[in-house]
């Protein structure tokens, strides 16, 4: 059995050749003045028969969206909105009232007090996945990460990259009790996944508010580093509040901490000095010349994603431009698609979308969005990061040797599109339709 300890971020800033499918992380970043970029795996795409269709073959094409999203899970599991006591199916999170100290701050617990309070809410996650080796023989690949219990009846939040592709997921509680977990939903865009175990009376984490954090506040990370050291505690501070990190075309706005983070910590909790969950750990830098560079998904983002996955099966209110794009990065790829310039091209315009109504066409090259230059897929999603459904964005596009200015009203991404982006739907080869909308 080959081990794959969750997701390897050791080459966060290093150049690596492209892969068909990443089993452990990698990525390239050679310009110190640009934000770090690393790889996240994407589902393989099927080839198309002509330029518009084949634009998603060989080079990853994706629906241009922003915000958060997810599908309804794998293994045929469908979750109905559950009655949690308030009639709308929303998970009831643990909460407490804090009494300010004489100094006016509520951050007065010792680290050991915090750990005693929250340790039972952090779990170990191990996975098994069937893969083919270089000789095309099947073998079992194992992985490990962390997770945080968010409800007393067994909902657990973790990272998408921890469980991606897994055929078997095991959750180990702090007391070493083990459960087989079902995947409720997952979101590539924010690297969030929700699991469910058949248990009650669990110790759920107390939710904090990441919007009230300040640089310098206490940060305590608890997780399963190296896949074998469950319950490990490291501490530090919040180093930054809104680092934009681009991961294989997905731009994430993350908290930065100097608490020690190691492979296996992914999906674990980042807590404040009151024992409140403020983030879900998802990345670290393994650059030999760097220390104390860990990242976490703000809990306000993670909580909203989790709620939508549980209650709706996908994330509602995610803006969508209404097109599928392909990134042409070299002369060979440009020749393959029959274009003369490098850049981001529209491969397909979704029927009924704001893009179609505005007159965008397959083959258009996106040059600028709202004054921001576009040279790769991540620039498109990055330009839409703070947008909402109904907002209007201005695109400068190149078509037939001319630059055109087109205003597009953003729509809402469908559940089907989110499932496709998460690799949960495959193209229908009989109709050659790309299921994005």
pLDDT reported for residue 288: 60
pLDDT reported for residue 85: 36
* DSSP label of 195: E
Q: What is the pLDDT along the chain (437 residues), one digit of tens a residue?
A: 444 444 444 333 333 333 333 333 333 334 444 444 333 322 233 333 334 334 433 333 343 333 323 333 332 233 333 333 333 454 556 554 444 433 334 456 899 999 999 999 999 999 998 888 877 788 888 889 999 999 999 999 999 999 988 999 999 999 999 999 999 999 888 899 999 999 999 999 999 999 999 999 999 999 988 888 888 999 999 999 999 876 555 678 999 999 998 888 999 999 999 999 999 998 776 566 667 789 999 999 999 999 999 998 888 888 889 998 999 999 998 998 889 899 999 999 998 899 999 999 999 999 999 999 998 887 887 788 788 999 999 999 999 999 999 999 999 877 777 766 666 554 433 222 222 23
Which contacts qualify for 388-394: CB closer than 8 Å, 24 or more apart?
Answer: 388/317, 388/319, 389/317, 389/318, 389/319, 391/319, 393/321, 393/369, 394/368, 394/369, 394/370
Burial class (CB in 10 A: 0-12, 13-18, 19+), 399: middle
pLDDT reported for residue 303: 96
Q: CB neighbours of 415 closer than 8 A, spacing ≥ 6?
A: 71, 72, 312, 313, 314
pLDDT reported for residue 317: 85
DSSP E strands, 9-48: 37-38
User: Going from the N-terminus, what domains does the chain have, and what CATH number goes with each?
Assistant: 46-66+318-437 (2.30.42.10), 111-312 (2.40.10.120)
pLDDT reported for residue 287: 63
53, two tokens:
């269709």
Q: End-to-end CA distance of the chain: give it in Å, rounded.
A: 40
Q: Which residues are catalytic?
A: 161, 191, 266
pLDDT reported for residue 120: 96
d(C-alpha 379, C-alpha 385), whole Å: 10
pTM: 0.69
pLDDT reported for residue 48: 34
Q: Are 79 and 89 in contact (CB under 8 A)?
A: no
């Amino acid at each position: 059995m080959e081990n794959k300890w969750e997701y390897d971020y050791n080459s966060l800033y290093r150049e690596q050749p492209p892969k068909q499918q990443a089993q452990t992380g990698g990525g390239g970043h050679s310009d110190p003045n640009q934000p770090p970029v690393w790889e996240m795996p994407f589902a393989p795409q099927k080839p198309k028969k002509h330029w518009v269709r084949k634009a998603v073959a060989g080079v990853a094409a994706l629906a241009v969206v922003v915000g958060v999203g997810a599908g309804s899970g794998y293994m045929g599991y469908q979750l109905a909105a559950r009655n949690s006591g308030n009639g709308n199916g929303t998970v009831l999170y643990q909460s407490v009232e804090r009494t300010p100290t004489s100094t006016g701050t509520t951050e007065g617990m010792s680290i050991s007090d915090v750990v005693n309070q929250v340790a039972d809410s952090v779990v170990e996650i191990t996975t098994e996945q069937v893969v083919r080796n270089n000789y095309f023989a099947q073998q079992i690949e194992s992985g490990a990460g962390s997770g945080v219990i968010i409800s007393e009846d067994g909902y657990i939040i973790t990272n998408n990259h921890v469980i991606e592709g897994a055929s078997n997921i095991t959750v180990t509680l702090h007391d070493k009790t083990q459960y087989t977990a079902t995947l409720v939903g997952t979101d590539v865009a924010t690297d969030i996944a929700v699991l469910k175990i058949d248990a009650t009376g669990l110790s759920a984490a107390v939710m904090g508010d990441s919007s009230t954090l300040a640089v310098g506040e206490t940060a305590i990370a608890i997780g399963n580093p190296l896949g074998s050291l469950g319950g490990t505690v490291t501490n530090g501070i919040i180093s930054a509040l809104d680092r934009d990190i681009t991961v294989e075309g997905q731009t994430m706005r993350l908290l930065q901490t100097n608490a020690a983070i190691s492979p296996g910590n992914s999906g674990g909790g980042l807590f404040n000095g009151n024992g409140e969950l403020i983030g879900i750990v998802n990345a670290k830098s393994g650059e030999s010349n760097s220390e104390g560079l860990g990242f976490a998904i703000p809990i306000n983002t993670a909580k909203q994603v989790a709620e939508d996955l549980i209650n709706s099966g996908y994330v509602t209110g995610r803006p969508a431009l209404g097109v599928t794009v392909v990134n042409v990065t070299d002369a060979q790829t440009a020749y393959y698609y029959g274009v003369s310039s490098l850049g981001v091209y529209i491969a397909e315009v979704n029927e009924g979308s704001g893009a179609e109504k505005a007159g965008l066409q397959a083959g258009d090259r996106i040059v600028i969005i709202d004054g921001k230059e576009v040279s790769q897929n991540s620039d498109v999603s990055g330009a839409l990061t703070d947008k909402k459904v109904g907002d209007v964005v201005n695109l400068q596009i190149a078509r037939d040797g001319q630059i055109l200015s087109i205003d597009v009203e953003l729509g809402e991404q469908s559940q089907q599109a989110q499932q496709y982006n998460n690799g949960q739907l495959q193209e229908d080869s009989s109709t050659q339709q790309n299921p994005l909308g």
